Structure 1
Amino acid sequence: MQLIELLWPAFVLVALLVFIHAVFGLEIIRRGVIFTDLAIGQIAAIGMAISVGFMDGNYQTLLTLGFALLGAVLITYATRRVEHIEAFIGMLYAFGASSIMILLASSPQGAELFQKLSATDILFTSETEVYQSALLYACIALVMFIFYPKTTGIARELTFFSMLALTVTSSVQLAGVLVVFVLLVAPAFIALSQKRFTPLYLAWTSGLILSVVALVVSYYFDLPTGYSIIFFQSMAVVVFSLFVRKR
């Protein structure tokens, strides 16, 4: 009971992150652009690095959103112009990661900030962050479930990648780039590797169970929460791929 009272904001936030990222993750894997979210997240983190490293945290959301949208526009344009899109997206990720290291190289807290950008400790999330995230993700979900299926062509591409950028803007600040990548890919990968259950529902279920387990384990064993989530989600993908037959 005490655990629930103490960590309920973290539990709710994880549920929200799994809910919204599964929606995008399924589409990303179906499109075959798996590293899209990682690249957008890394580009978004450039804005966050500029804010934290040089502006004392001011304009963090604005800069993160601006760079995320820039990444989304670049990928939207590239999907129609670049033949080897996955290679392009991989280079975009490398550009983002190297840019962050260069930006933070002169900062005394550079290594700590880079680690925070990769995976944040969300164990003691505030109630305010939970409420703000719930409102934002609800609006994004409405667009993805109601408006997005009716779009076609370039409007469909822009809607998808701009909503992904908006999601990543929030989630990278809350959880870190690597956690966001894992929550996008791992539950969706497991869900699409079977035919018995509805993919979206299975992605929500598996993602939530594994994330809650990671939260509890990280709390009791004093482990980094973000990397615990990455560990359990990625381990589940490996185990599922190697030992569970596709049905």
Structure 2
Amino acid sequence: MVELLPILIPALVAGLLVVSTHVPLGYQVLRRGIIFIDLAIAQVAALGIVVAHQLHLMHSFHGVEYLLSVVFAMFAGLLLALLEKHLQKELEAIIGCFYVLAATAGLLVLAHDPHGGELLKQTLSGSILWATWDMLAWHGIVVVAVLALLWWKRSLLNGIWFYPIFAIAITSEVDLVGVYLVFASLIMVPLATNRLPSGAKRLVIAYGLSILAYAAGLLISAWWDLPSGATLVWCLAIVALAFALLAKRKVTAV
């Protein structure tokens, strides 16, 4: 296991970058009742990566696939922000439509690509174990910028600016860990801790549970040679469920 540390440590840092933004954003998603916005915007961002691949833009300059996926995700975020004003009651259904349209658009774009299946698998499941320090430095800048913005003016999460901020954070993390793990990181632990009193203590607990799940998932994935993305999703679910059951048992005992 020691020889795997050069792979596991960057992967764990990638996980820390993901949960640093996903925990506060996850509580906001739950408060707004738009649970599947993460899946929808993440899938739109993944579509940007697929389009960049098909246009062979990845070879033109470094990071072009990320920039195109940001454009796609920002467009989706701004459109949802506009729709929220006029179609509040139908917003969750519209978000679901965004997801299925982006997912099927990816299938259509890659229909004649012999390597399309592998690219789709990577955008969904991610490749966190292949994270490099160069990649982490770039994504770290994005994460720090998002966190600084939220710390400077947290009220931005309550208005329409939530959508573009969310889109920027999600795009960076889809590129790192894939659509499935982005969604699991956003929803599972915040859902398990959502009934705790809001404040610093709840954030600390949520961050702690998320880090525990990522550490356990990476070790299990490496030890048994399992797909890292799928393993991490299940570890997040198990840790979140275990905490929810323990918290409920404690309340019942009182």
TM normalised by structure 2 equals 0.88
Which moves more between the two structures, 194-203 or 74-83? Answer: 194-203
Q: Which amino acid aligns with 2:116?
A: G
Structure 2 partner of 1:202: 205
Structure 1 partner of 2:222: 219
CA contact (8 A) 2:193 2:244 kept: no
Structure 2 CA distance, aligned partners of 1:70 and 1:15?
27
CA contact (8 A) 2:12 2:215 kept: yes
Q: Which amino acid aligns with 2:69?
A: T
CA contact (8 A) 1:215 1:225 kept: yes
Structure 1 partner of 2:99: 93
Q: Which amino acid aligns with 1:172?
A: V
1:26-175 superposed matches below 5 A: 26-55=27-56, 57-58=58-59, 59-82=64-87, 83-149=89-155, 151=156, 156-158=159-161, 160-175=162-177
Number of positions where the alignment pairs a residue of Structure 1 with one of Structure 2: 243
Structure 1 partner of 2:191: 189
- Pairwise CA distance, 1:152: 8.7
Gaps of 5+ in 1: none
- Pairwise CA distance, 1:195: 4.5
Q: Which amino acid aligns with 2:186?
A: L
TM normalised by structure 1 equals 0.90
RMSD of aligned residue pairs (Cα, Å): 2.1
SS state of the match for residue 160, structure 2? helix
- Pairwise CA distance, 1:244: 4.9
CA contact (8 A) 1:186 1:207 kept: no
SS state of the match for residue 198, structure 1? helix
Identity across matched positions, percent: 26
1:76–1:245 CA distance, 2 compared to 1 (3 A): same
Gaps of 5+ in 2: none
Q: Does 1:21 align with 2:11?
A: no
- Pairwise CA distance, 1:177: 0.9
Structure 2 CA distance, aligned partners of 1:6 and 1:33?
35
CA contact (8 A) 1:7 1:124 kept: no
1:6–1:240 CA distance, 2 compared to 1 (3 A): closer
Q: Which amino acid aligns with 1:216?
A: L
